[in-house]
Structures are given as C-alpha cells and as structure tokens.
Structure 1
Amino acid sequence: MTAAAMLECAYWAQDQVSFQRAEEKIKRTLHISIDDDTIRKAAGYIGKAVFEEDCRKADEAWAEFCKRPLVSEPKRKKGVLYIETDGSSVNTRIQDENGSTWRENKLAIFFSTDHIYKWKNKKGEICRKIEKKEYVSYLGSVSEFKKHVLAGAIRNGYGRYEKVVLLSDGAGWIANMKDELFGEDVLQILDFFHLSENVYSYGKAKFKMNESQYIPWADEKCKKLRDGKWKEVLGELDPEETYKNTVNLYHYINSNKEHIDYPQYSAMGLFIGSGAIESSNKIIVQRRFKQAGMRWGVSTAQYLMTLVSKWESELWESDVVNRTYKILN
C-alpha cells in the first residue's frame, strides 16, 4: 500500500463512525475496495507513529521542565491562553482491578484570544466563537497526560500571554496537575457550564424529575452562582442531602469556592464556561468511540483518537501527512 493510500485509510477511519463505514466511503469516493480490517491496520500504523512522536515531544518538554520550571517572558503580550481539560470514559477490552472495562480518556483543549472572533448580536450582547484550537487526547494515567498538557501549553504560547486560564469541571486530579505544572501563574475557573449541569442534575433528582419544580429551582441557584452569591446558595443546601448518580452539590460548590468568582471573571473579559470541553468530548470521543456495542483495544483507541484530535486541530497536514511521508519515504 502506498503512503497516499494509507493516509486515505487513516483519514476515513477517523472521520466515519466505524471501520465498516470507512470501507464504504472509500469505495464510493475513490472507487477502490479496501476491506475494513486493512483500513484499521493502516490507520493504526499511522496513528501509532503520530502518537509516538507526540509522546517523544511530551517527554522532552517534561525533561526540560524538571531541569527548570516554566518561566514567563518579562514582557508578555496582551491576551489570554485558555486550557480546558476533562475526562470521558471509553469501553475497552481490558478489565481493571475492579473488574470494569471502562477507561478514562483525558482531553485537553488549548486556544487563545488571538483566535477568538467577537461580534454583537441583535440584542447588543457580545458573542464569541473559538476559530482555532488544539486538542490533546490521552487514554491513560494523569502522570503521562500531564506531560502532553505541558507540551501543548508551551506550543500554544504559555509564557507569552499576560494571562493563562484553566477551565475545568472541578475534578481533584485537574487541580493537582495545574498546581504541579503552573502553580499560581494560572487562574483556575470552575467551568460554569459544568457547574450548571451539576445543579440541574441535582435538581432533577431532588424533585424526582418534576420540571415545574426542578427547573425554577435550578434556574435560581445558577443565577445566584453566576452573580457570585455562592455563600447564599450553600446556606440553602443540606450538606448531608445526596442522590444517586449526582454530585453532593454542597460539597461540590464548597470545594470549588475559590474558583467561582464569576462576576470578577466576567469583568476581566474571561470565558467562564464556553461548553467547549463538553462539545469537544462529543467530537473527539463520543462520535467515534462510544457507538452502541463498541469495545476497544486500548492501543487501537489511542492511535485513532490521536488522528481524530489532529484532524479537529487542523494539524493533519503538518503532524500526520508530513510524518507519514517522512517515515515511509
């Protein structure tokens, strides 16, 4: 198989919802027959090469960091570098020590104010759209994922912007990673999109899915939190009141109280919850890896997820095509 043919296999493998659909698409568009197993092998070969190169660069960044921690430039340009990170599970063929086959994929997004388009809608409200972002996906431990986050932050301008913001869902591992890599140089914000989701989920459980009760209740709590009245919200919650499949809302808000000063963040012109990480999990993980009945080999999923991330980051030509021709020629 030529390099060009392998790249076609890799592209359609990450673009379609299954290898079988990729086989159909190649036949329709290129008028050639390549079976789904060959497509899987070709995509795996290329994805492995791309992923291993990313790991090499991440290890290099980590080695330099261990020698000398990150230092910001004395004269930093105006603007903000945003880092968003989250986890989403993928069903694998390998059981963990608890017997579960689900393994968490850790996803990070990097974008800056240099690539945010702003406009006003008919109501005069300022709207913003992220026009360029980089995704980094890692199906494994935090200890390795943090190296990729470090390398991604550096690639996207860490140290050159006057502000750096980390948006997250409030998970402890994310806060620990932020402290280890960036310390106080990064402002951590609890993504308001995630906070709102948890408030509504809690409200649904509290009022047994009665929309006439949980919607106004959740609307009120979210408005107060958006206005910085988190103490008032905590006073209205019972610390001991918990429901199945929801967070303990009192504990969740209380443990993140240092990261929910939304009036101040808004006054600074910062994103407080774009929903970017949530939509990214749908783009990178759910669309391709969580179809009904899917179970993955960990390596197969990682290599393909790397290809999906490169395409969505608009890095296909530089990081996939160029690397493939370098390896094969």
Structure 2
Amino acid sequence: MTAPNPLISCDTAIVKAHLLTSFGERIDQLFEAARCGELTPREAERRTWTAVVQIGAMLLTALFTILCRRATEQAVSGLGLHMTGVEMRMGKDYWTTLKSTFGPVRFPWFAFRGTDGKTCVPARVLFPLRKRAHVTEMALEWAVALAADHPFRKAAEALLFFSHAALDLEDTTVERYALLVGSTIPREWMYQPVAEIRRILAEHATCDALTGRPIIYASTDAHALLRYVNETWAAKWKMSNGIRLWCIDKVTGAIISIGGEYTWDDCEGVANSFRALQKSGHLPANGDYGGGVLAQIALVTDGSEWIASRVLPLFPGAVLILDLFHVVEQVAAAARRLYPGSKSKVKKLVNQARKVLGFRTPRKHAKVRKGPRKPRPARTPAPAVGSAYALYELLTPLLRESDDRKRRDKLMLVLEFIVENAYRMNYGDYRARGFQIGSGAMESLHRAASQLRLKRPGCRWTAEAAQAILNLRMLQLSGRWNEYWEQVDLAEQVDARRAA
C-alpha cells in the first residue's frame, strides 16, 4: 500500500515538517559535497538550483493542495453541510498534474459526492484554463513571452534552459499557447489607457505653435508577410495593415508611443479600427480627451487612395500631412523614367525637389577631431518652406524635355498626384507650427513589432498565428505586459474569449 503524501495532509504542521526535512536533507548533501571537495563553483551553483527547484515544486504542491481544499470547504459550507458529512473522492481520477515553472506538480481536487449523488469539483474554478493549457498561469506567461520574441522551437529550448530543466514543453505546445493568449488580447490593451494618454499630452507632448494644443500623431501603413492561402501549403505575400499613435517629447524630441495594432482586414476594416479608437476615447475625432486636454490630431500617411477616402474623413479637425519622403519617392521614380541613362540628372532633379520641399542640406562628414573635444554645433532647423505649388512649378517644365509618351505619362501621373494631395502638402506651414512631416514612427513599428519576429528566414504563417504574435508584441510595446498578466481574472477572461 502506498504511503500517504505528507504534502496533501490537512495538518499544516505535518506539511511544514516534511518541507523542512526535505530542505534540510538537500542542504546537508550540498554541505557534505563541498567539504569533501566534490564541488566546483559551477557545480555548486548548478546543484543549488536543482535543490531550489525541487523544494519549490514541493512547496507549490502543498500550496495548490491548500487552495483546492479551501475551495471544497467553502462549497460544502455553502450547501449547509460539514466536511465530515460528505463523501470525498480522492481516487487517482480526481487528481491533476500541471506543469509549473518549478516542474510538474500533482495534487488532488478534493472532489466530493453531493446530496444528489453527483460528483462536485469546486477547485476546478481555480484553474479555468486547465482544459486548454496543462500549465500554471505563470508558466503560460513565460512560454508566451518567449514565443513572442523567438521561433517556437527556440522558445521551447529557452524555456527549458532558463527554468533549469524544470519546464519542458514541445515547440508545438508553445505555439498553441501563444495562439491561445495572443488571439484573445483586447484592442484596448495594445494602447495606453485614456487617462495616461491625457497625462502624456498635458505634461510631455509637443504643442501646435499656432493653437497651443498638444499634438497626437496617428498613421496607418501596410507591410507584407508570407501567409498560407486557400487552405494549402502555398504561401504568398499578403498585406498586414498597421496603425500607430504617438507623440513627441517636448524636451528630448523622442517618440512617446501611445500604442498600435495590426490587422489582416482590408481598407474598410482599418477604417473600422479607427472608428473603434474614436469610440473608446483613445483617439477622439475632435481631440477632446477630457480634463481640459484638447489635442490637435495630426494624420501623417502616405498617398494611398483608400486612406484619403476612408480614414481621413473620420477626423474633420485633424491636420492632414502627406509623408514627405513618399513624395520624394514619387519624384525619384519619375526622374528615373525621364532620364534612364543619366544618374546625375536624376540626382539633380531629386535634390531640387528636396530643396523646394524644405529638406535640410545634408551635413557633410565631420573631420576627425584633434585636441580637446569640442561640442558639435547645434543643427539648424529645417526651413519653414515647402508646398505642392513649389514642387508643381519645378516639375511642369520637364514635360517639354521628352518626346517619349511613356516618360511623359509617368511625369503626368506625379503631377496629378501632387494636385490631388496639395491640401496636405503645405510643409512650410507644418514646420512652422512644429509638426512632424514624415511617418518614420509608423515605418519603424513594422520592424519592431512585426519583422523582427515574423519576417525571419523561412517563416510562413497562418493568418491566426501571425495575428496572435502581432497582438503579443503590441502588448509588449505598449508597456502594459505586467499589468495585463496581473489581472486576477485573466485566466477566466482568456477562457471566455476563446470559447466565444
């Protein structure tokens, strides 16, 4: 007959005595090995960790046992019964094993037979994700955090390494857990809380020199990922649309990220995401964050037609800015078509376009300094010049320089682009008022949030897996990872959202 496990005893004194005895035995073994010269410093540290992990697993088993017994006692008391008056079900079918950060722990549910003859297991509410993930909540967090940054196999290896071989999961299991958590993260957790946005705008954000209102920037842009399509193993480049909100620190000039998200939805889906941000108060259409904070919204985007037709109209009071670098790319493409055999002419035209748009003159390479170090002189601000009209005046005469219809057509497309977007190309005014005129913050998000993880060599994704990883990474970048996992009812939330 198997001896009873002292860790599940109802008498805490017995449990404590067993833990102290076990700990003492391991300490004595380590001391004896050290006195006999059996340990190197490395081996001493390794064996210490082994002992700590073993004792940790035992202590966690005892604690989970107490929690389960307490849940059963409360349920029995709620029925008007006493523990001595119910039939306990302590067979092996009423035990469970969970993998924890200390290794596997096995403990009883303390199930009992109710007055109606049915078996009740009240303690299962303590572990709502047990049927979906046979791990503790902290072990789940560790696995998911590593999966957000590393390929699933590397994440599994890192988990085993940093848990001192206590937590051993297959790479497919790590992937499943990442999808379980990542697919259920609500949009609002990928952004700062509205109250925090209000504080940032009031205390740290740069302001519109014309109105004095703090500036909050928004942008959207798409980037391509290899995704499986049509229920086959064929992977094609598909566009994932990103949204980002940010402002600029008025002291340091650094980007203060407000949050962002990615979606596989089409252009209408992106517009709906902006509507959701308006409704939640993260990006109110009129910029009113309450508490006396009235922000100036600035939408800095590229020249995509769908953005102009679906997103920009949602913010009638916003300052609309066409990404300056996108304009220069359009000019450069036309210049290469206009002067196919002359790089010097292409470069000259692009530099002229940069000048009329108000770009700074590129700083020359500094000479190697000699003698005492001297502070570098402050960089002169960009001139408050640049407009669609100036660029149009520069490019129009070039129509007469070529008889080739295709080259002229390309230039005409650029001129039409300038005319259509003239209302958001008043760069001189934007600079004078202190606005950013490039969407570099949005472009950099693609690398930080997506490409470093999802665009590794050989990566192919299902839409669901990619979306889950993107959500996890956006949660990390929002700075709210710990806050999210510290929710008392997080496991219940995840289980409910996954079931829905």
TM-score, structure 2 normalization: 0.52
Structure 1 match to 2:276: 151
Unaligned runs of 5+ in 2: 1-134, 191-210, 359-385, 400-404, 496-500
Structure 2 match to 1:134: 259
Which whole-Å CA distance do the structure 2 matches of 1:268 and 1:233 have between them?
25
> Contact 2:332–2:346 at 8 Å: present in 1 too?
yes
Confirm whether residue 260 of structure 1 aligns to residue 425 of structure 2: yes
Structure 1 residues 242 and 268: alpha-carbon distance in aligned structure 2, compared to 1, 3 A threshold? same
Cα deviation 1:11-69 (Å, max 9, x = unaligned): 111122x222222332333333322111110010001111xx33999xxxxxxxxxxxx
Structure 1 residues 83 and 203: alpha-carbon distance in aligned structure 2, compared to 1, 3 A threshold? same
Structure 1 residues 202 and 280: alpha-carbon distance in aligned structure 2, compared to 1, 3 A threshold? farther
Which whole-Å CA distance do the structure 2 matches of 1:108 and 1:90 have between them?
16
Cα deviation 1:118-164 (Å, max 9, x = unaligned): 34xxxxxxxx2113331111111232322322333522563233411
Structure 1 match to 2:321: 189
Which whole-Å CA distance do the structure 2 matches of 1:306 and 1:232 have between them?
46
Cα deviation 1:67-91 (Å, max 9, x = unaligned): xxxxxxxxx9821121111111222
Partner SS state of residue 78, structure 1: coil
Following superposition, the deviation at residue 265 of structure 1 comes to 0.6
Identity %: 22
Structure 1 match to 2:469: 304
Question: 1:8 aligned to 131, 142, 145, which one?
Answer: 142
Which whole-Å CA distance do the structure 2 matches of 1:225 and 1:263 have between them?
8
Structure 2 match to 1:233: 394
Structure 1 match to 2:8: none
Following superposition, the deviation at residue 247 of structure 1 comes to 11
> Contact 2:144–2:177 at 8 Å: present in 1 too?
yes
Which whole-Å CA distance do the structure 1 matches of 2:273 and 2:444 have between them?
21
Amino acid at match of 2:324: F
Cα deviation 1:93-141 (Å, max 9, x = unaligned): 1159xx983321111111235xx2434xxxxxxxx21133311111112
Structure 2 match to 1:106: 241
> Contact 1:84–1:108 at 8 Å: present in 2 too?
yes
Amino acid at match of 1:314: G
Structure 2 match to 1:70: none
Following superposition, the deviation at residue 237 of structure 1 comes to 5.0
Confirm whether residue 83 of structure 1 aligns to residue 212 of structure 2: no
Structure 1 residues 293 and 243: alpha-carbon distance in aligned structure 2, compared to 1, 3 A threshold? farther
Amino acid at match of 1:222: R
Structure 1 match to 2:168: 33
Structure 1 residues 55 and 279: alpha-carbon distance in aligned structure 2, compared to 1, 3 A threshold? closer
> Contact 2:274–2:311 at 8 Å: present in 1 too?
no
Cα deviation 1:254-304 (Å, max 9, x = unaligned): 332211110011111111115111111112222222222322111111111
Which whole-Å CA distance do the structure 2 matches of 1:242 and 1:10 have between them?
54
Confirm whether residue 166 of structure 1 aligns to residue 299 of structure 2: yes
Cα deviation 1:294-317 (Å, max 9, x = unaligned): 221111111111111111121323
Which whole-Å CA distance do the structure 2 matches of 1:210 and 1:36 have between them?
53
Following superposition, the deviation at residue 243 of structure 1 comes to 10
> Contact 1:83–1:167 at 8 Å: present in 2 too?
yes
Amino acid at match of 2:237: W
Amino acid at match of 2:149: D
Cα deviation 1:154-207 (Å, max 9, x = unaligned): 22563233411101011111112224422x212211011333344445545655
Which whole-Å CA distance do the structure 2 matches of 1:10 and 1:205 have between them?
49
Which whole-Å CA distance do the structure 2 matches of 1:209 and 1:108 have between them?
39
Confirm whether residue 284 of structure 1 aligns to residue 449 of structure 2: yes
Which whole-Å CA distance do the structure 1 matches of 2:485 and 2:407 have between them?
50
Structure 1 match to 2:382: none
**Higher RCO (C-alpha 8 Å, min separation 6):** 1
Structure 1 residues 26 and 11: alpha-carbon distance in aligned structure 2, compared to 1, 3 A threshold? same
Structure 1 residues 46 and 232: alpha-carbon distance in aligned structure 2, compared to 1, 3 A threshold? same
Which whole-Å CA distance do the structure 2 matches of 1:148 and 1:231 have between them?
35
> Contact 1:199–1:222 at 8 Å: present in 2 too?
no
Q: CA RMSD in A?
A: 3.4
Following superposition, the deviation at residue 211 of structure 1 comes to 5.3
> Contact 2:225–2:237 at 8 Å: present in 1 too?
yes
